[in-house]
Amino acid sequence: MKKILIAGAGRFGFAAANRLSELGASVTVVDLNEKRLANLNGFVTDTLVMDAIDRDTFLAEVESGEFDAGVVAIGENFSTTLLVSLYMKQGRIPYIVARASNPKQGKILTKIGVGLVVTPEDDMGHRLAEKLILRESEQIDLSPDTSVVRVLTPEGFIGKKLGEIDFSEKGFNFLFVARRYTEQGFVKTAFPDEKDFTIAEGDYLLFAGDTRRIAAFVESAR
d(CA 28, CA 199): 49
pLDDT tops 80 at residue 90: yes
Alpha-carbon torsion angle 66, 69, 70, 71, nearest 10: -150
Three-class secondary structure of residue 26 per DSSP:
strand
CATH number for the domain spanning 31: value is 3.40.50.720
Domain boundary, last residue among 93, 118, 143:
118
Confidence of residue 131 (pLDDT cuts 50, 70, 90): low
Structure confidence at residue 66 (pLDDT): 86
Nearest-angstrom CA–CA distance, 91 and 187:
47
Mean pLDDT value across residues 129-141: 69
Query: Which stretches of 62-200 are assigned E, i.e. beta strand?
Result: 69-72, 96-99, 116-118, 137-141, 146-152, 172-180, 187-190
Share the mean pLDDT of the chain.
Answer: 87
CA distances from 51 to 5, 9, 48, 87, 123 (A): 14, 12, 9, 12, 28
- Looking at per-residue pLDDT, the higher value among 125 and 9 belongs to 9
157 with 193, same domain: the answer is yes
Q: Do 15 and 112 share a domain, yes or no?
A: yes
Buried b (16+ CB within 10 A) or exposed e, 3-23: bbbbbbbeebbbebbeebbee
pLDDT at 5: 96
> What's the pLDDT band for 118 if we cut at 50, 70, 90?
confident
- Per-residue pLDDT at 212 exceeds 90: no
Distant-in-sequence, close-in-space partners of 91: CB < 8 Å, separation ≥ 6: 58, 59, 62, 63, 70
Task: Say whether both 93 and 128 belong to one domain.
Answer: no
Three-state SS for 178?
strand
Kindly report the CATH number assigned to the domain that includes residue 170: 3.30.70.1450
pLDDT higher than 70, residue 126: no
Q: Do 12 and 113 sit in the same domain of this protein?
A: yes
- The number of beta carbons lying within 10 Å of the beta carbon of residue 55 is 15
pTM passes above 0.85:
no
Are residues 114 and 52 part of one domain? Answer: yes
What's the number of domains the chain is made of? 2
Domain stops at, among 64, 94, 118: 118
In this prediction, what percent of the chain has a pLDDT beyond 70?
Answer: 91
Using the 3D structure, point to which of 118, 138, 173 is the last residue of a domain: 118
Overall average pLDDT of the 10-14 stretch: 90
Q: Identify whether residues 140 and 53 lie together within a single domain.
A: no
31 phi/psi in degrees, rounded to 5: -165, 155
Residues 131 and 95 in one domain: no
How confident is the model at residue 134, as a pLDDT?
66
pLDDT band at 136 (very low <50, low <70, confident <90, very high): low
Contact residues for 76 (Cβ-Cβ < 8 A; gap 6+): 101
Q: Each residue of 165-186: pLDDT tens digit?
A: 988 877 899 999 988 765 656 6
Residues of the domain holding 71: 3-118
